[in-house]
């Protein structure tokens, strides 16, 4: 998913992550975000909601109000994004349910036109456990198409065709998730773990996603073959590429 060079500002890539809730981008794409930041690319996370209703059970049990929970999750997500080296924006669209709307899609179109991303990461289009996730994906994809239309009424130039990658859902088998990209996040996993630990509202996820990174790292080494010299403790993230790769050479 590399797209830019830190030594040439003109060649820098731009990673855009569309996340339904305040924690999703950390668990599922924290490694990709940290890698982008380390190579000098810009990385921007758009959180459609704070995950205030459906993904903040600990705070509700503590008796916090809705506004308090939103501010709590905002702060956690800001700290996590900073740990990864990303900018973060919040659209505060509400969750459980995250309701798709023209207004939200239009906001995303304007983000696309502003940032001109070279890579887009978002949720899968299937998730029977959480309808907010495919809703976020559908809006991210619709906005990408509209941002390409020269006649769409939004500032900026028409978007090109940035590749879109779906990151791994929490229940991959039930979401028909079959990864075709395994990303080596070993050099930045410590940053991802630090970002995860910025989300105490979902502390039960820390070890789950550490263990998942280990398993994907094992699969990454198996698919890379013995000549790549990957370390025993390789850590990975899994993705599905939506659109075909365009290339002059098969590799």
Assigned domain for 2 exists? no
Angle at 117 between CA 6 and CA 29, to 5 degrees: 80
Picking from 37-46, 75-84, 218-227, 237-246, which range would have the lowest pLDDT averaged per residue? Answer: 218-227
Assigned domain for 161 exists? yes
Assigned domain for 246 exists? no
Band of residue 161 on the pLDDT scale cut at 50, 70, 90 = very high
Band of residue 142 on the pLDDT scale cut at 50, 70, 90 = very high
Supply the pLDDT for residue 233. 84
pLDDT in tens, 85-136: 999 999 999 999 999 999 999 999 999 999 999 999 999 999 999 999 999 9
Percent of the residues in the chain that have a pLDDT greater than 90, as a whole number = 90
Q: How many domains does the chain have?
A: 1
Assigned domain for 190 exists? yes
The answer to whether 39 and 93 have CB atoms below 8 angstroms apart is no
Assigned domain for 250 exists? no
Note the maximum CA span of the chain. Answer: 58
Q: Which two tokens stand for residue 139?
A: 């809006």
Assigned domain for 151 exists? yes
Q: What is the DSSP letter of 249?
A: S
pLDDT at residue 8 greater than cutoff 60 = no
Supply the pLDDT for residue 201. 87
- Enclosing domain of residue 109: 12-225+232-241
pLDDT in tens, 17-32: 999 999 999 999 999 9
Percent of the residues in the chain that have a pLDDT greater than 70, as a whole number = 94
Assigned domain for 249 exists? no
Supply the pLDDT for residue 226. 72
Angle at 117 between CA 112 and CA 118, to 5 degrees: 150
Band of residue 229 on the pLDDT scale cut at 50, 70, 90 = low
Residue 11 neighbours by CB distance under 10 Å: 13
pLDDT at residue 16 greater than cutoff 60 = yes
pLDDT at residue 9 greater than cutoff 70 = no
Write the CATH number for 189: 3.40.50.10320
Assigned domain for 3 exists? no
């Amino acid at each position: 998913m590399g797209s830019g060079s830190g030594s040439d500002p003109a060649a820098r890539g731009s990673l855009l992550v569309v996340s339904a809730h305040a924690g999703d981008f950390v668990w599922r794409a924290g490694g990709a975000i940290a890698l982008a930041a380390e190579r000098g690319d810009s990385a921007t996370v758009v959180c459609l909601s704070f995950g205030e209703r459906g993904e903040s059970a600990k705070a509700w049990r503590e008796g916090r109000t809705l506004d308090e929970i939103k501010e709590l999750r905002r702060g956690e997500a800001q700290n996590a994004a900073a740990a990864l080296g990303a900018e973060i924006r919040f659209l505060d669209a509400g969750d459980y349910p995250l309701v798709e709307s023209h207004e939200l899609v239009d906001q995303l179109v304007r983000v696309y036109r502003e940032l001109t991303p070279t890579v887009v990461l978002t949720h899968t289009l299937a998730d029977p456990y959480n309808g907010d996730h495919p809703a976020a994906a559908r809006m991210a994809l619709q906005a990408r198409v509209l941002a390409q239309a020269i006649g769409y009424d939004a500032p900026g130039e028409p978007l090109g065709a940035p590749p879109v990658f779906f990151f791994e859902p929490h229940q991959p088998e039930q979401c028909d998730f079959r990864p075709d990209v395994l990303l080596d996040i070993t050099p930045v996993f410590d940053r991802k773990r630090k970002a995860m630990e910025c989300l105490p509202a979902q502390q039960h996820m820390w070890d789950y996603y550490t263990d998942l990174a280990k398993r994907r790292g094992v699969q990454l080494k198996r698919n890379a073959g013995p000549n790549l010299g990957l370390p025993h403790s390789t850590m990975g993230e899994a993705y599905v590429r939506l659109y075909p790769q365009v290339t002059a050479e098969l590799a």
